[in-house]
């Protein structure tokens, strides 16, 4: 029996991939992606269980690559499982654990398997994970990784210049943190990643909407929102204590006092955390240039559906609100 090769699937004109994420973003409607918390297990059911709760509301599910430098089931394996089940995952590739030879091979393998979205990350340092004694690789960084995969896709060449017979049709993403210093540099940094090949970005958790607004203002002034789809990172905080812990222990996550005060003052902090999340989504979607949200609900995945539904971003009215087809974005 002939197995249809995913590579030969039609890539719509003006698209880089045949995937649902790119189609959804280019359609102009509000898009929701979510991060799957990878199990420490060799049982595929554990992956499906976690994907199922997210899939009700998500266009795409991110398969993290040993995030926080902790060992889990690999992003490649999660993608293989999710594709088999009909999902459109985002393969996260970090530069921490593999060199350019391994990564480029993985890109071809992933595309052959049907992966249509790749998120290029530098990765967390090994020191932050559960194997601090491991050898950090960092042969490439997020920007040079973007450029390498774009070269593979558009020029059909490896970094060595050697020809690829069938290039990988992938939609390329990057991470952005509008909330970490140097704040003035962040929009320029986004521009650099776009120049290197980023077509969509997923940001770090947003808890400070005014800061995001001023970032987006610069992004719009530079015309970057015309060249790249921006998905804002969102997630519910379980309690003020958790929020405080994240603020002091997870570098790069900025949580203003006002959020923690609001949690502290609530009777049911967990519920309030979800309400804050809903409010943030509603504020974020109003910002011009924001194409969607990226939900990171660590250990609260079962509430993602509820949060998204309550926010109204997937209601009929909001889906038809932005009819403009933004096919121009490359």
Specify the stretch interacting with another protein by CB under 8 A; choose among 18-26, 186-194, 262-270, 298-306. Answer: 186-194
Where b means 16+ CB within 10 Å and e means fewer, 147-167 reads bbbbbbbeeeebbeeeebeeb
Q: Closest Cα to residue 117, out of 33, 12, 28?
A: 33
Is residue 214 close enough to count as binding another protein by CB under 8 A? no
Contact pattern from residue 250 through residue 279 relative to another protein, giving x for each residue in contact according to CB under 8 A and a dash for the rest: -xx-x-------------------------
Pairing of strands 229-234, 200-205: parallel
Q: Which of 223, 188, 189 is nearest to 330 (CA)?
A: 223
Q: Which stretch binds another protein (CB under 8 A): 39-47, 59-67, 118-126, 311-319?
A: 118-126
* C-alpha–C-alpha distance, residues 228 and 201, integer Å: 7
Which one of 147, 151, 300, 311 is in contact with another protein (CB under 8 A)?
147
CB 62, min distance to another protein, A? 15
**Longest pairwise C-alpha distance within the chain:** 63
Binding residue for another protein (CB under 8 A) from 36, 78, 80, 196?
A: 196
Q: Of these, 21, 191, 234, 313, which contacts another protein (CB under 8 A)? A: 191
CB of 82 to another protein, least distance (A): 25
The answer to whether 204 contacts another protein (rule: CB under 8 A) is yes
Q: Out of 28, 125, 256, 289, point to the residue binding another protein (CB under 8 A).
A: 125
Residue with smaller CB distance to another protein, 188 or 325: 188
Q: Does 129 sit near another protein (CB under 8 A)?
A: no
* Binding range to another protein, per CB under 8 A, among 49-57, 85-93, 138-146, 163-171: 138-146
Contact flag: residue 4 with another protein (CB under 8 A):
no
State the number of CA atoms in the 13 A half-sphere of 20 facing the CB: 14
Scanning 11-19, 39-47, 131-139, 222-230 for contacts with another protein by CB under 8 A, the matching segment is: 131-139
**How many C-beta atoms lie closer than 10 Å to residue 64's C-beta?**
23
* Segment 160 to 179, residues that bind another protein, using CB under 8 A: 175-177
Pairwise CA distance, residues 230 & 291, whole Å = 5
Stretch that binds another protein, among 4-12, 77-85, 249-257, 292-300 (CB under 8 A): 249-257
Query: Contact between 182 and another protein (CB under 8 A)?
Result: yes
- Residues 6 or more apart in contact with residue 197 via CB below 8 angstroms: 146, 147, 149, 150, 172
Quick check: helix, strand or coil at residue 305?
A: helix
Q: How far apart are CA 54 and CA 188, in angstroms?
A: 33
How many residues sit close enough to another protein to count as binding (CB under 8 A)?
37
Contact 30, 322 (CB under 8 A): yes
Torsion of CA 135, 139, 140, 145, to 10 degrees: -90
Nearest CA to 202 out of 78, 33, 17 is that of 33
Binding footprint of another protein on the chain (CB under 8 A): 95-96, 100, 122-125, 127-128, 136, 138-144, 147, 159, 175-177, 180-182, 184-185, 188-189, 191-192, 195-196, 204, 251-252, 254
């Amino acid at each position: 029996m002939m197995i249809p090769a995913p590579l030969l699937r039609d890539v719509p004109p003006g698209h880089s991939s045949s995937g649902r994420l790119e189609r959804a973003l280019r359609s102009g409607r509000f898009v929701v992606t979510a991060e799957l918390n990878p199990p420490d297990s060799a049982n595929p059911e554990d992956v499906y269980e976690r994907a199922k709760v997210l899939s009700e509301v998500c266009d795409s599910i991110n398969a993290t690559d040993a995030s926080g430098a902790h060992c889990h089931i690999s992003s490649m394996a999660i993608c293989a499982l999710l594709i088999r089940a009909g999902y459109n995952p985002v393969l996260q590739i970090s530069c921490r654990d593999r060199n350019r030879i391994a990564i480029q091979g993985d890109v071809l393998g992933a595309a052959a398997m049907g992966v249509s979205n790749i998120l290029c990350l530098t990765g967390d340092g090994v020191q932050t994970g559960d194997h601090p004694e491991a050898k950090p690789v960092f042969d490439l960084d997020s920007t040079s990784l973007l450029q390498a995969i774009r070269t593979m896709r558009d020029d059909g060449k490896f970094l060595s210049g050697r020809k690829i017979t069938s290039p990988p049709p992938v939609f390329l993403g990057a991470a952005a943190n509008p909330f970490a210093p140097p704040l003035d540099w962040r929009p320029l940094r986004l521009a650099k990643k776009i120049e290197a090949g980023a077509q969509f970005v997923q940001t770090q958790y947003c808890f400070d909407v005014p800061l995001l607004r001023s970032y987006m203002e610069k992004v719009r002034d530079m015309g970057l929102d015309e060249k790249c789809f921006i998905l804002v990172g969102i997630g519910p905080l379980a309690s003020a204590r958790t929020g405080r812990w994240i603020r002091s222990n997870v570098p790069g996550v900025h949580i203003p006092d006002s959020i923690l005060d609001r949690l502290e003052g609530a009777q049911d902090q967990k519920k309030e955390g979800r309400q804050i999340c809903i409010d943030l989504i509603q504020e974020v979607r109003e910002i011009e240039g924001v194409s969607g949200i990226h939900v990171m609900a660590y250990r609260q995945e079962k509430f993602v559906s509820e949060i998204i539904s309550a926010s109204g971003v997937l209601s009929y009215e909001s889906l038809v609100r932005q009819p403009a087809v933004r096919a121009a974005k490359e």
